[in-house]
Amino acid sequence: MIFWLALWVAVITVAGLFTLAVRRASGGSWTLTLAAILLAVMSLAEIGPNLSAAALVLVIAAGGLFNYPNLRRGLVSNPLLAAFRRVLPPMSRTEQEAIDAGTVWWDGELFSGSPDWDRLLSIAPPRLTAEEAAFLAGECEELCRMIDDWDSTAVQQDVPPRAWQYIKDRGFLGMIIPKQYGGRGFSAYMHSQVVQKLATRSSAACVHVMVPNSLGPAELLLHYGTREQKEHYLPRLAAGLDIPCFGLTNPHAGSDAAAIPDTGVVCRGLWQGEDVLGMRLTWEKRYITLGPIATLLGLAFRLHDPERLLGGETDLGITCALIPTGTPGVSIGRRHMPLNAVFQNGPNWGRDVFMPLDRIIGGPKMAGQGWRMLMECLAAGRSISLPSSACGYAKLAVRATGAYSRVRSQFRTPIGRFEGVEEALARMGGNLYMMDAARRMTAGAIDMGEKPSVISAIVKYHLTERGRAVVNDAMDVLGGKGICMGPANLLARPYQQLPIAITVEGANILTRSLIIYGQGAIRCHPYVLAEMRAAAEPDRFRASKDFDRAIWAHVSFAVSNTARAFLHGLTGSWFTSAPAKAASETRRYYRHLTRFSVCLAFVSDVAMLVLGGTLKRREKLSARLGDVLSMLYLASATLKRYEDEGRRRDDLPLLHWAMQDALFRIQTALEGVIANFPSRGMARCLARIVFPLGRRFGAPSDKLGHEAATLLIAPSETRDRLTAGMHIPDNETEALGAIEAALDAAAACEPIEQKIRGAVKNSLLSAERPEHLADAALEAQVITAGDHAMLTRAHALRDEVIRVDHFPQDFGRSEYAQITGAAVTG
């Protein structure tokens, strides 16, 4: 009897404590529950009244301590604060400014353990205005018709002058500049649509348009420029009268950009015949996009004021100024050749170039504020430029390769129907579905006023990496057709140049290993930043109060997440809630994502507790935790896309593939953290709590891959939605136009080919000479003359599509020299 009673008490105790933990119960509820449990245990164990009373007093006293703030602060929180200050790694000013920059948006929800899915789904998808839609269909399409990647990269080695002029005249360089300054005043979403479309046509034109609209003089002027600076420069930049570039990178400071050795020294000097207060600048920059043709150089350098002429510190810090490139002493170097890309890129330098202080962006009061300015403005450009161009490359790869896989046959079968090729096509489709979802959701967030610094790093890294994966898969599927360069090859240039996107705006290894989680764990975690701010607070009373509030909320959060991670792992996420608005076919994905959001918060707290400040240096661990956060973001965007597009059931194989792949990757990343966690005892605890039933998620199945791949190799609305926003030439003389026409023709001929196959099977036709089958079928009246004409056209288009370019022995150098009159050397 007593055994059963004890068992009941134990079960009720565990269930009670678990419920308190999951529900983040108040300190009072914990005290009362613990007192009740104690009473029950003591009466069962027949403990004497004196001991019982003493134990009860102890519990109530401990409860009182935790529920009475002044006592709690004095006895527990303040010593904890002192210990926290000791282990907190020192943070430089530039690190602090990077942490403080930008806003936290959906990434904060994903770290909360309880993402508010209804809130996400209620956000309207971004839309173009009528004016933007007209520009995209008008000017942007027209520009696409003017440019040709092969012509630019192999012949002109630049954007053709006519197209460059059109870019300037039609305001492509001023898309982010408001109309009051003569710019286009486009939304972030429109900006993304333009960059994406241009990327499907010419990387050089895309980069030339992308860079002035990203982080650089215009963006910095808009946020920090003085009235005079805005009124002078913005109209000139919008009209293409000034070509901007931005120089941050120095040969000795690439990823560690805050360490640039370029200097400015505050001094007096002669400027246009007058003695003025200014600065003497010395710098060396390299890799600067648009640098070789720029007229206005945005320059980042460290400003010193050794004579304290500005009345403050001697080392003022990183400063941004605008330098007209015609200024005496400014040297513009020659061109780099980044992987055969022909967008303008090169070095520049200056020695003792004197500039008045009003050339500092924002004027002298902004001296030393450059790093903060750059960090604050980074989110918008980084969220748009490279993610959008990567989507453009991926769309081109998916559309062209899907069609090619249907048109190209081997072993008398379209190659897209072989399981091996299907595997690659499924990856391409699933990756692109997710990439485009994230691109749109992020651009929409910027249009809502967010400056999502962590999310911008997530989309920069993951969309460029997936873009590279998609193009790599496409190259494998295309075989020799992908490798032989020339006008008929659509993917060789994107393949060649994708590593540029991997390297710029935060090289990808650094972005994954240091930035995403390094910033995410501090910015997106609900309590860590508050604790750090409290630790840095000089007012002791305020520090104690703020820290006390944050740390106990954090403890309750961590306890709750421990219980919830275990519960959801045990129950296959069934006790999490899916949003009321979600489609039934996607509800289980929301539940799993909520579970992994809890796991991310839980494992992060354990990692921070065990590793403290050294977590920052454990890049392999923090990269994997960043992968979990990133995958949660990409998966959220994918689910939202499905709802935003009106639940297109035909697209479900792509959605399922993308979601199952993401869940599998999250599981793999968490397993990687646990397997490599330095404390093995803690690793075992983590494994029991996060994966109490072991691995539950597998990679997308072969059957699902087959369904996803099939969508890419036939004309359909799904294929059009997947590649929406591309430039698709409407004539068959263009490589992509020919592939499109060949796919349509191949699909239209399927019933005709079926008739012929039936006739061969019934011995009405001989299969010995397949090249003559169509003629024989016509002669045997198996097909009509119209059918025969369709087949003939389909075959001609197929032959055009599988054709590759060939060149004279010298690759046409002498022919080209004859045309241009240039000398041929060597």
Ligand X SMILES: Cc1cc2nc3c(=O)[nH]c(=O)nc-3n(C[C@H](O)[C@H](O)[C@H](O)COP(=O)(O)OP(=O)(O)OC[C@H]3O[C@@H](n4cnc5c(N)ncnc54)[C@H](O)[C@@H]3O)c2cc1C
Residue 204 CB, shortest distance to ligand X, in Å, is 12
Cα→Cα distances 574→570, 577, 585, Å: 9, 8, 15
CA pair distance 317, 192, nearest whole angstrom = 33
- Scan residues 335-354 and list those touching ligand X (CB under 6 A): 338, 345
Residue 176 CB, shortest distance to ligand X, in Å, is 16
- Please indicate whether residue 505 is annotated as part of the active site: yes
Q: Within a 13 Å sphere around the CA of 141, how many CA atoms are in the beta-carbon half?
A: 13
* Piece of the chain touching ligand X by CB under 6 A; list 33-41, 159-167, 286-294, 363-371: 286-294
**Angle, vertex CA 406, rays to CA 402 and CA 410, nearest 5:** 125
Residue 330 CB, shortest distance to ligand X, in Å, is 16
| Closer to ligand X by Cβ: residue 408 or 460 | 460
| Closer to ligand X by Cβ: residue 210 or 310 | 210
* Piece of the chain touching ligand X by CB under 6 A; list 241-249, 424-432, 692-700, 728-736: 241-249
| Closer to ligand X by Cβ: residue 255 or 409 | 255
Q: Report the largest interatomic distance among the alpha carbons of the chain, rounded to a whole angstrom.
A: 110
Size of the site for ligand X (CB under 6 A): 21
- Does residue 254 belong to the site contacting ligand X (CB under 6 A)? yes
Binding mask 481-500 for ligand X (x = CB under 6 A): -------------------x
Instruction: Return the SS3 of 160.
Output: coil
Query: What crossing angle do the helices spanning 528-536 and 516-523 adopt, rounded to 10°?
Result: 80
For 206-306, list the strands marked E by DSSP. Answer: 244-247, 263-271, 274-289, 296-304
Residue 294 CB, shortest distance to ligand X, in Å, is 10
- Does residue 401 belong to the site contacting ligand X (CB under 6 A)? no
| Closer to ligand X by Cβ: residue 219 or 450 | 219
CA pair distance 378, 393, nearest whole angstrom = 23
- Does residue 287 belong to the site contacting ligand X (CB under 6 A)? yes
Q: Cβ(284)–Cβ(349) under 8 Å?
A: yes
Cα→Cα distances 220→237, 298, 319, 462, 773, Å: 12, 9, 12, 26, 66
- Does residue 513 belong to the site contacting ligand X (CB under 6 A)? yes
- Does residue 517 belong to the site contacting ligand X (CB under 6 A)? no
| Closer to ligand X by Cβ: residue 283 or 589 | 283
* Piece of the chain touching ligand X by CB under 6 A; list 188-196, 229-237, 240-248, 371-379: 240-248
Among 248, 318, 501, 797, binds ligand X (CB under 6 A): 248
Among 106, 135, 233, 246, binds ligand X (CB under 6 A): 246
- Does residue 619 belong to the site contacting ligand X (CB under 6 A)? yes
- b/e code 282-315 from CB counts within 10 Å (16+ = b): bbbbbbbbbbbebbbbbbbbbbbbeeeebeeeee
| Closer to ligand X by Cβ: residue 506 or 653 | 506
- Does residue 263 belong to the site contacting ligand X (CB under 6 A)? no
**DSSP secondary structure string, 732-781?**
TTSHHHHHHHHHHHHHHHHHHHHHHHHHHHTTSS--S-GGGHHHHHHHTT
**DSSP secondary structure string, 385-449?**
HHHHHHHHHHHHHHHHHHHHHHH-EETTEEGGGSHHHHHHHHHHHHHHHHHHHHHHHHHHHHHTT
- Does residue 289 belong to the site contacting ligand X (CB under 6 A)? yes
| Closer to ligand X by Cβ: residue 378 or 739 | 378
- Does residue 217 belong to the site contacting ligand X (CB under 6 A)? no
* Piece of the chain touching ligand X by CB under 6 A; list 5-13, 81-89, 130-138, 247-255: 247-255
Among 217, 244, 247, 370, binds ligand X (CB under 6 A): 247
- Does residue 333 belong to the site contacting ligand X (CB under 6 A)? no
- Does residue 249 belong to the site contacting ligand X (CB under 6 A)? yes
Q: Cβ(329)–Cβ(352) under 8 Å?
A: yes
- Does residue 510 belong to the site contacting ligand X (CB under 6 A)? yes
Return all residues near 43 (Cβ < 8 A) that are at least 6 apart: 52
CA pair distance 396, 455, nearest whole angstrom = 25
* 465, 505, 734, 800: the active-site residue: 505
| Closer to ligand X by Cβ: residue 174 or 247 | 247
Residue closest to ligand X when measured from CB atoms: 254
Among 514, 534, 773, 794, binds ligand X (CB under 6 A): 514
- b/e code 18-36 from CB counts within 10 Å (16+ = b): eebbbeebebeebbbbbee
Return all residues near 138 (Cβ < 8 A) that are at least 6 apart: none
Helix (H) or strand (E) holding 252: none
Residue 75 CB, shortest distance to ligand X, in Å, is 41
* Piece of the chain touching ligand X by CB under 6 A; list 83-91, 448-456, 507-515, 694-702: 507-515
Among 357, 504, 759, 794, binds ligand X (CB under 6 A): 504
| Closer to ligand X by Cβ: residue 245 or 615 | 245
Residue 460 CB, shortest distance to ligand X, in Å, is 11
CA pair distance 165, 421, nearest whole angstrom = 43
CA pair distance 603, 559, nearest whole angstrom = 12
Helix (H) or strand (E) holding 356: strand 345-356
* Piece of the chain touching ligand X by CB under 6 A; list 194-202, 438-446, 509-517, 652-660: 509-517
CA pair distance 826, 813, nearest whole angstrom = 11
Instruction: Return the SS3 of 310.
Output: coil
As annotated, the active-site residues are: 505
**Binding region for ligand X (CB under 6 A):** 245-249, 254-255, 287-289, 338, 345, 500, 503-504, 507, 509-510, 513-514, 619
